[in-house]
Amino acid sequence: MAKLAIFYYSSTGTNYKMAQWAEAAAKEAGAEVKLLKIPETAPMSAIEQNPAWKEHYEETKDVPEAKIDDLDWADGYIFSVPTRFGNVPAQAKQFFDMAGGLWFQGKLVNKVVSAMTSAQNPHGGQEATILNLYTTMFHWGAIIASPGYTDDSIFAGGGNPYGTSVSVDQDGNMKEDVEGAVRHQAKRTVQVTDMILKGQG
């Protein structure tokens, strides 16, 4: 059974919802799954200035926080993070930067990785964010499991071959129907992880 860690960072809930869809699909595909939130690093003073951010922060207090050991535990990863100026949020970058010890020991090699993201508009850095995340994964020696155009749900969800991405309006509503694309991407990630595990066995 493949072990899959779904890491997400979400300030107002979009990427948490995507991560939950991925979790359900990965379990359906037969994986052992952990849903983990990347630790918040913003000060409470900043969080409290945004009612939606504060509400989501309070609602997800019981979701387990990601630890570096989870990278070692899992055979495959899905990351779901919003875009920040075409790159990953600082919270995700800090989490990656803490993985140096595992990287040095070669424990991140051949991990299977797939990524998802969100932004306020379709050209707000969605593809760039996923590609920048994958750049870190190349340094880890990970295996990228992008969705490509392997299912009609990719087109229905906006057609991003690098990973599912969604636009979010000012009220936090997703503009595209990406649930099917997220579920397909999660199942594909489990499938590729299974293939890697069988090859190593």
Q: What is the 3-state composition of the chain as percent helix, strand, coil, each rounded to the nearest 5?
A: 45, 20, 35
The pLDDT of residue 122: 87
CA distance 120 to 82: 9
The answer to whether residue 201 scores a pLDDT higher than 80 is: no
The pLDDT of residue 26: 98
Band of pLDDT at residue 75, cut at 50, 70 and 90 = very high
CA distance 167 to 146: 19
CA distance 163 to 146: 6
The answer to whether residue 31 scores a pLDDT higher than 70 is: yes
Crossing angle of helices 179-200/14-28, nearest 10°? 50
Q: What is the CA radius of gyration of the chain?
A: 16
The pLDDT of residue 200: 78
The residues spanned by each domain of the chain are 3-200
The residue to which tokens 């690093």 are assigned: 41
The pLDDT of residue 55: 95
pLDDT digits (tens, 9 = 90+) for 100-155: 999 999 999 999 999 999 999 989 999 999 999 999 999 999 999 999 999 999 99
Report if pTM > 0.95.
yes
Name the token pair of 64.
């387990």
Q: Which CATH number fits domain 3-200: 3.40.50.300, 3.20.190.10, 3.10.20.30, 3.40.50.360?
A: 3.40.50.360
> Around Cβ 10, how many Cβ atoms within 10 Å?
25
Closest CA to 113 of 101, 131, 95: 131
Band of pLDDT at residue 79, cut at 50, 70 and 90 = very high
